[in-house]
Structure 1
């Protein structure tokens, strides 16, 4: 059965880091993949000369290039301002009215007759205010639209810490990287319900990441995208060959391998009647 999946992200490049392999896999399996992004990422760091002005426009173009590499059928920008790392930017998404933003996203879900929506975990991954808002807005929008399955894109925190702690003890991490902040980031292993194997689509994921050239430099330490793109292809596939999700309506300890595993058994969608408009 062909299904429609909406992947909701905060900024261009977020889709490439967290969900690109799943997006490419679902597209290859014949499903419709729609990428919705809250902001143009105009507050992001960049070290590329000439990209400081009009960064939002440049990153939007990068987003479309990434989406093309992943096979997305549609890209939708909700048009909110990037809040910045401190969440203080005037008019930023992090301060937007949740009800209004949810209604806007719900209209897209209804228009697409979406079967599945991805958001972030409640911590927003590493805590970026716009990522936290994606969780709030996305969960509310799915409720409004009656979207039957919501997956929280995340990272296996236990696995991440097992890798970072020895590197930190050996002095192999940038000094600016505080491993302690990951103690409460993302999701613990016991919370994760889906471990989606995406190794065969690692090439598409790498192409999606490479499309975001502005985000490979800037700041005081090595950027995550740049570090990952330097990995040899076999190691890239091994390190990034699994993507992680949490589905809150499943019992803890559930371990599934595909976004559509354990589909709602009664088949009820819970949607608003045809012709109605979601309201905040």
Structure 2
């Protein structure tokens, strides 16, 4: 683990409420404890994040998830949040240049030393996640090219250890995911335990509309341990897959599976 203070001001760019907690709650808490500025950007309210849209209509779920996000960030002492206001599940169909300009304006305002987001795989393969990753990279190039860009990733050891959980929960949406990133390629690792892991669990529990089902299925202890290690790739030092059109065949980079980048 690198000294988190070396990351300076951190800007997290995510698609939905709860993305930030699953992937960076430990990182954000450590940075805040060290007195650093942390800003979170969320592209949508996640208003379609349910298997019961009749019981949770989009307007209601969006309001609930905004409150959940506020509570989760409060547990981590993160006080700055920006919302882009896009409809959930639609990011690839938004006006891309306009969306990137809006995000670039936030980057320009915050002037982060480090930007953290999804890799181009979207971690779970979700199209919104992949789109936000592309937006973040382009906005960084336009407004803060000196900022370090980190991609949240998963490792070989993570895949092996938690295969039994992944078999029970429908989290990863394409063959080849979760990624089995070699340990040698990981730029930053946080291994949470004790009070740090408990704090992350509190942040995850705050997203109850998304995590209550997981807790009922696997229990709090397993959820706590499942995401207790946060790993990141340095975008500038990692070979990335190429974009593929709808008619493309096999993955452009071996080992990345069958998922396709949007666009």
Counterpart pick for 1:241 among 212, 215, 228? 228
Q: What is the CA–CA distance in structure 1 between the aligned matches of 2:172 and 2:160, rounded to whole Å?
A: 11
SS in 1 for 2:124: coil
TM-score normalized with structure 2 length = 0.77
Find out whether 1:188 has 2:181 as its counterpart: yes
Deviation at 1:47? 6.0
Do the aligned partners of residues 81 and 180 (structure 1) sit closer, same or farther apart at CA in structure 2, a change above 3 Å counting? closer
Do the aligned partners of residues 48 and 231 (structure 1) sit closer, same or farther apart at CA in structure 2, a change above 3 Å counting? farther
Partner of 2:256: none
Q: What is the CA–CA distance in structure 1 between the aligned matches of 2:137 and 2:119, rounded to whole Å?
A: 10
Find out whether 1:198 has 2:198 as its counterpart: no
Deviation at 1:114? 1.3
1:69-124, Cα deviation, whole Å (9 max, x unpaired): 111120111000001xxxxxxxx212223322221111111111211111101110
Partner of 1:105: 103
The structure having more radius of gyration, on CA atoms, is 1
SS in 2 for 1:59: helix
**Number of residues paired by the alignment?**
230
SS in 2 for 1:80: coil
Q: What is the CA–CA distance in structure 2 between the aligned matches of 1:138 and 1:251, rounded to whole Å?
A: 16
1:190-245, Cα deviation, whole Å (9 max, x unpaired): 5322212333522221111010111135xxxxx4465565217xx93x54332010
CA-atom RMSD in angstroms: 2.9
Counterpart pick for 2:221 among 231, 244, 247? 231
Find out whether 1:43 has 2:48 as its counterpart: yes
Q: Is the 8 A contact 1:46 1:216 kept in 2?
A: no
Q: Structure 2: 5+ residue runs without aligned partners?
A: 240-263
Q: What is the CA–CA distance in structure 2 between the aligned matches of 1:124 and 1:162, rounded to whole Å?
A: 20
Q: Structure 1: 5+ residue runs without aligned partners?
A: 84-91, 218-222, 253-280
Q: Is the 8 A contact 1:124 1:186 kept in 2?
A: no
Deviation at 1:248? 2.4
Q: Is the 8 A contact 1:164 1:179 kept in 2?
A: no
Do the aligned partners of residues 23 and 178 (structure 1) sit closer, same or farther apart at CA in structure 2, a change above 3 Å counting? closer
Do the aligned partners of residues 185 and 60 (structure 1) sit closer, same or farther apart at CA in structure 2, a change above 3 Å counting? same
Do the aligned partners of residues 55 and 180 (structure 1) sit closer, same or farther apart at CA in structure 2, a change above 3 Å counting? closer
Deviation at 1:183? 2.6
Q: Is the 8 A contact 2:26 2:192 kept in 1?
A: yes
Q: Which of the two has greater helix per residue?
A: 2
Q: What is the CA–CA distance in structure 1 between the aligned matches of 2:227 and 2:43, rounded to whole Å?
A: 25
Find out whether 1:62 has 2:53 as its counterpart: no
Q: Is the 8 A contact 2:50 2:56 kept in 1?
A: no
Partner of 1:143: 141
